[in-house]
Amino acid sequence: MVELRQLRYFVAVAEELHFGRAAERVGIAQPPLSQQIQRLEAELGVQLFTRNRRRVALTEPGRAFLDEARATIRQAERAMETVQRAARGEVGQLGIGFVGSATFGVMPPILRRFRQRYPDVELTLYELSTAQQVEALGERRIEIGFVRPPVVATDLAIEIIASEPVVAVLPADHRLADADTLRLSELAGEPFVFFPSSFGPGLHARIVGACQQVGFTPRVVQEAIALPTIVSLVSVGIGVSLLPASIRNLGWDSVRYLPLAGDPPHVELAIAWRDDEASPVVQAFVREVLNGD
C-alpha cells in the first residue's frame, strides 16, 4: 500500500530532480530516500524516474503520477487541518436555545463575537422558554441554552452571565410616566400586561414575589409570550408591566421605562449546557461566553 510519506518523497524528488537536494528537503538521508522511491515504484509496478550519474528525470508515468500525488497530499493536508480545527471547536454545528428577553441584552454581542472568531461554526437559534430549553437540552435537540434561573436539572451545567434590575413599563401618557423613579407599591391596582408563569416561571415568580412583598399581587388583564408584544400592548394603554431593564433597548417612544426606587428585584440570565458534553464546539462556545472579551 502506498503511504503518504512516500508520496511526499516522490514529489520532492520530482520537483528537485536531484536525490541529494530532495533528501535534505524532506529531512532524511539520501540512501533511505532512494530506498523509499524504489519501494514506491515496486508497489506501483512502474518506473517513475530515469537515473544516471549526471541527471534524474521523470518518466512519462512519473509525470502523470506527479499531479495525482500532489492532489492527494493537498487533500490529506486539508483533511488533517479540518480534523484539527474540529478538535479545537472551529468547525461544526451548534443549536442554541434562548429566552426572548436575552436578545435585548448580552446575547447579541456574544453571538457576534463568536461568529467573528469561529466563522465556520454553523449556529441554529431557537426561541424557547426556559422549561422548553431544559427539555431540549436533555433530548439533545440543542447544545446551549440561554435561560432564566432558577433551573432545576441535575444533568446540566449552569453559569450566571448577567443580572439586571426590573423596570416599570408604562404608556407614555400614564399619570406616573413623567416620574424619574417609581416605587413598586405605586403600581398596586394597575392593570398588568404580563407573560404566563408557564413560559418564564423563574422570572414570573421573582417579579410577582417582589410585588407581594410591598402589599399587592399584579392584576393581569392580558397575557402575552413575547416581550415586544407586551411592550406593544402597554403602548396602547392596555396596562402596565414589569420587565428586565434590557427591554429599554427595544426603544418605543410610546412607552416609558422607569427605574424602581429602593432595592428593585433583579433577574438573572444564565448559560446552560449538558454537564457531560464533550463537543469541542460546545466547549469553545462556553469558553467564549465565560471568558470572552
* Residue 98 CB neighbour total at 10 angstroms: 22
- Band of pLDDT at residue 131, cut at 50, 70 and 90: confident
Residue spans per domain, the chain: 4-87, 91-160+269-291, 163-266
DSSP code, position 195 = -
CA distance 152 to 147: 11
CA distance 5 to 73: 9
Question: Which of 48, 42, 87 minimizes the C-alpha distance to 68?
Answer: 48
- Band of pLDDT at residue 85, cut at 50, 70 and 90: low
* Residue 147 CB neighbour total at 10 angstroms: 29
Mean pLDDT of 27-37: 89
Distance of CA 16 to the CA centre of its chain: 47
The letter for the amino acid at 17 is L
User: Angle at which helices 19-26 and 30-44 pack, to 10 degrees?
Assistant: 100
Please tell me whether the overall predicted TM-score, pTM, comes out greater than 0.75 for this model: no
CA distance 39 to 31: 12
How far is residue 154 from each of residues 78, 158, 214, 282, measured CA to CA in Å? 40, 10, 34, 19
Say yes or no: domain 91-160+269-291 is CATH 3.40.190.10: yes
What's the pLDDT tens digit per position in 237-268? Answer: 999 999 999 988 887 889 999 999 988 989 89
CA distance 99 to 131: 10
CATH of domain 163-266: 3.40.190.290
In angstroms and rounded to an integer, the radius of gyration of the C-alpha atoms of the chain is: 32
Percent of the chain past pLDDT 90, that is, above it, reads 46
In CATH, the architecture of 4-87 is Orthogonal Bundle (1.10)
**Topology alike, domains 91-160+269-291 and 163-266:** yes
57: three-class secondary structure by DSSP: strand
Mean pLDDT of 97-117: 91
Q: Torsion angle, CA of 184/188/191/195, rounded to 10 degrees? A: 50
pLDDT for the residue numbered 89? 63
